[in-house]
Amino acid sequence: MELVSSMTDYTSAYRQSVANPEEFWGEIAGDFVWKKKWTKVLEWDFHKPEVKWFIGAKLNITENCIDRHLAGQADQVAILWEPSDPKEGAKKITYRQLHQQVCKVGNMLKAHGIKKGDRVCIYMPMVPELAFAVLGCARIGAVHSVVFAGFSSGSLADRINDAGCKMILTADGAFRADKKIELKKIVDEALEKCPAVEKVIVLERTGSQPVMKSGRDCWWHDEIKKANDRCDAEEMDAEDLLFILYTSGSTGKPKGMVHTCGGFMVHVNYTFRTVFQYQPGQIFWCTADIGWVTGHSYILYGPLSAGATTVIFEGTPSWPDMGRFWQTIERHHVNIFYTAPAAIRSLQQASLSFVEKYDLSSLRILGSVGEPINEEAWHWYHKNIGKGKCPIVDTWWQTETGGIMISPIANVTELKPAYASFPLPGVQPAVMDEKGNEISGNGIEGRLAIKFPWPSIARTIYGNHQRFKETYFSTFPGMYFTGDGCRRDEEGYYRITGRVDDIIIVSGHNLGTAEIESAIDEHSSVCESAVVGFPHDIKGQGVYAFVICYNKPQDEEKLRREIRDTVSKIIGPIAKPDKIQFVSGLPKTRSGKIMRRILRKVAEGDTANLGDTTTLLDPAVVEEIKRGALE
Ligand code: PRX
């Protein structure tokens, strides 16, 4: 099917997708390799909830991501790997080589008793073998559960047990900037609590010489040597499980979101090609980790199914220096660059000379994902990285949605900084009020729900369909509830205002923490901020702001007044922070998300019980915040 390449195309594709979703997605799905066609495109009931796409169809996603490219582009680079230490040198893996490696992994897994439907946990650094591992599972129909290699042993054990994994693929260690993390040790600790795990296959990466438990542990290089490089792709039903990926809930333990083969493939491929307007031969770099959904959908399955060259980056943006991203773009002539606002904001703090040193003229399109991007960061990114010429696609989606849902289409949608803009064809949002009524018209604000299924919607929470129903389909019966707040402006542009669980209600007014943060960040001394609510005798909730400044404030009281004035100007006096605590850092997960749970506890004065802080990037920052907490 022709892709959208103008606003007229968008309008007509959107209309068709709403008027006749089955015909719309059926046509898109026609562009893939199926072992057997579907008998019906869609069956659904959001009350149950149940969603099935491409009923009766059979496929293997790796045939679509690899085999079908062998005829015309076997020697094209599929994966361009940039190691942690640039001195180690990049590696290029062609589609032909990718095919061989994925087949070998498939055979290696089979040799150790893994078969279709078995769950395999992958806990690895960002090396090419991680991609081979993920695709190797998909090749033989095993369900991959990738756990980000920054999680602690306890978090890893919980995920292994919840998914009932029989095998772990890991590495001796991982490089993080100039440090080595001993991954295998973490796995060993986790496995003390995971009796069902029979096999651990260990890739040698850092040379840390871990203890190998005989009978259970073996080396990747020994096993892969024995494996044949031809492996038939298992025939999968469109609704068979492709992967489980854990995401944290607002309460309780992490939720294992389940994605299935057919719909996920169709959606991530369509959105990859549409949103980024991908052209054959382009080099695409998504800086996420494969341990998160962004990496699943837009490092691996989306780009590879489109036959693109996808960059896998093992490093961090600030090492060896703050120019690492820009150096890598120059080195690999990256055309499309997709990153997170947190990364942009941290690099924005560094001298511009780190950007100016490098030739970024290969860039065509920039992307942002994971949280609302504040206007200041948007403009910095647009001006300094895109040189004013590259559109920024601010893509809104979730682990649960599997792929991009609301986003500008590059070079098609007229951009509005910090707006995710319009729903993609096939996506039917609804803005809801607190009573559960849909708000019609424009210039409105409310909670974001989706009225109609899209192909890559998660099908369940692994082992807990009831929780799936309660979390996503009970707030607004008959609709999927995103947990996000949004505004639809006068022109119909969507702006995601942040999680509604992070909304603060001050004197009966709803205030988005993200919105207040964005206002605070407008003050020229402020680098980043995080806002949470705290109980307030008169207003119900007050606003507590944790603020990082570029330089240590000389006169804290004066700066507090200025920040309050800034917020008052941008949002209104109601949003002025009641308390402003200056901090040198924020408690962030390794993926850059602020752990608001911790900040809320501090703001409430309950510093004794902060819960698990082991997944934080820098646990020491919590101690500083506790010491400086305001009464
Ligand atoms: O609040 C939204 C925010 O990230 C949440 C989903 O997080 P996760 O499942 O970890 O997936 C992140 C990568 C897709 C959403 O509920 N979010 C994601 N993208 C945006 C965003 N908020 C605003 N703008 C975005 N572009």
d(CA 188, CA 225): 24
Q: Residue 572 above 80 pLDDT?
A: no
Cis peptide before 49 (omega within 30 of 0): yes
Q: Which of 534, 627, 547 is nearest to 594 (CA)?
A: 547
- Tell me what pLDDT residue 387 has: 98
Q: How far is the CA of 223 from the centre of ligand 1 (A)?
A: 39
Smallest CA separation from ligand 1 atom 18, residue: 370
Average pLDDT over residues 185-212: 96
Q: For residue 96, what are its two tokens?
A: 């032909």
- Tell me what pLDDT residue 616 has: 79
Q: Residue 249 above 60 pLDDT?
A: no
Q: Residue 503 above 70 pLDDT?
A: no
d(CA 496, CA 418): 8
Give just the sign of the alpha carbon dihedral 276, 281, 286, 290: positive
- Tell me what pLDDT residue 539 has: 67
**Residues of each domain in the chain carrying CATH 3.30.300.30:** 507-628
pLDDT band at 8 (very low <50, low <70, confident <90, very high): very high
- Which helix or strand (DSSP H or E) is residue 295 part of? helix 293-295
- Strands annotated E in 95-226: 119-123, 143-146, 167-171, 174-176, 179-181, 199-203, 217-219
- Which of 205-209, 510-514, 609-613 bottoms out in mean pLDDT, i.e. has the lowest? 510-514
591: helix, strand or coil = coil
Question: Could you identify the atom of ligand 1 that is nearest to the CA of residue 593?
Answer: 10
Average pLDDT over residues 177-188: 95
Residue tagged 């025939």 (tokens): 235
pLDDT band at 606 (very low <50, low <70, confident <90, very high): confident
Percent of the chain with pLDDT over 90: 79
Cis peptide before 320 (omega within 30 of 0): yes
- CATH number of this structure's domain 507-628: 3.30.300.30
d(CA 345, CA 17): 36
Side-chain-side CA neighbours of 493 within 13 Å: the count stands at 18
pLDDT band at 511 (very low <50, low <70, confident <90, very high): low
List all residues 6 or more positions away from 87 whose beta carbon is below 8 Å from its beta carbon. none
Q: Residue 113 above 70 pLDDT?
A: yes
Smallest CA separation from ligand 1 atom 24, residue: 372
Smallest CA separation from ligand 1 atom 11, residue: 398
pLDDT band at 607 (very low <50, low <70, confident <90, very high): confident
Question: Could you identify the atom of ligand 1 that is nearest to the CA of residue 247?
Answer: 9
Question: Crossing angle for the helix pair 556-570 and 513-521, nearest 10 degrees?
Answer: 120
Give just the sign of the alpha carbon dihedral 268, 269, 273, 276: positive
Side-chain-side CA neighbours of 337 within 13 Å: the count stands at 26
DSSP 8-state symbol, 165: -
Ligand 1 site, CB within 6 A? 247, 293-294, 369-372, 394-399, 420, 482-484, 496, 499
Q: For residue 139, what are its two tokens?
A: 């090749």
- Tell me what pLDDT residue 508 has: 47
Smallest CA separation from ligand 1 atom 13, residue: 370
* 401 φ, ψ (degrees, to nearest 5): -85, -15
Question: Could you identify the atom of ligand 1 that is nearest to the CA of residue 496?
Answer: 23
3-state secondary structure 8-67: HHHHHHHHHHHHCHHHHHHHHHCCCCCCECCCEEEEEECCCCEEEEEECCEECHHHHHHH
Instruction: Please work out, in degrees rounded to the nearest 5, the angle formed at the alpha carbon of residue 284 by the alpha carbons of 278 and 286.
Output: 120
User: Probe ligand 1: pick from 146, 151, 378, 396, max atoms within 8 Å of CB?
Assistant: 396
* 627 φ, ψ (degrees, to nearest 5): -65, -35
Smallest CA separation from ligand 1 atom 8, residue: 398
User: Probe ligand 1: pick from 257, 496, 517, 594, max atoms within 8 Å of CB?
Assistant: 496
Q: Is there a contact between 379 and 386 (Cβ–Cβ < 8 Å)?
A: no
Q: What is the DSSP string of 438-491?
A: BPPSSSEEEEEEE-S--TT---EETT-HHHHHHHHSTTTTTSEEEEEEEEE-TT
Name which residue leads in pLDDT, 562 or 483: 562
User: Probe ligand 1: pick from 344, 397, 493, 495, max atoms within 8 Å of CB?
Assistant: 397
Average pLDDT over residues 475-499: 93
pLDDT band at 19 (very low <50, low <70, confident <90, very high): very high
d(CA 406, CA 409): 9
Residue 428, class by beta-carbon neighbours within 10 Å (0-12 exposed, 13-18 middle, 19+ buried)? middle
CATH superfamily of 7-316+395-486: ANL, N-terminal domain (3.40.50.12780)
Average pLDDT over residues 410-425: 97
- Tell me what pLDDT residue 253 has: 67
* 441 φ, ψ (degrees, to nearest 5): 80, 180
Q: For residue 437, what are its two tokens?
A: 């009524």
Question: Could you identify the atom of ligand 1 that is nearest to the CA of residue 399?
Answer: 9
Q: Residue 72 above 80 pLDDT?
A: yes
Question: Could you identify the atom of ligand 1 that is nearest to the CA of residue 397?
Answer: 14
Smallest CA separation from ligand 1 atom 3, residue: 371
- Which helix or strand (DSSP H or E) is residue 303 part of? helix 302-305
Q: Residue 354 above 70 pLDDT?
A: yes
User: What does the pLDDT look like over 513-568, one tens digit per residue?
Assistant: 877 898 899 899 999 999 998 887 776 678 999 999 999 999 999 999 999 999 88
Residue tagged 């989706």 (tokens): 450
Q: How far is the CA of 327 from the centre of ligand 1 (A)?
A: 27
